[in-house]
Amino acid sequence: MMSDHFLDARNLGCPLPILKAKQALSKVPVGEILEILATDPGSPEDFVAFCTSTGNELVGQGVAECGAYRFLIKHLE
């Protein structure tokens, strides 16, 4: 799945990847997708909880070629 916007949150500890994602999503038009790369080991659980609590949709999750966690979030709210 392709993304419309990108956030590099690698090498940032908790809670910075989530805080940066929240800031970035505020600039993403509704319906578009933000791709995030993060290396924080708690990121997978954090982004699931973040999407649940904010009403946005986690449309993709996995590991990028660089070894970082990769998240695709569709801005719905």
Catalytic residues: 14
**Contact (Cβ atoms closer than 8 angstroms) between residue 74 and residue 33:** yes
Question: Across-strand partners of 36?
Answer: 7, 71
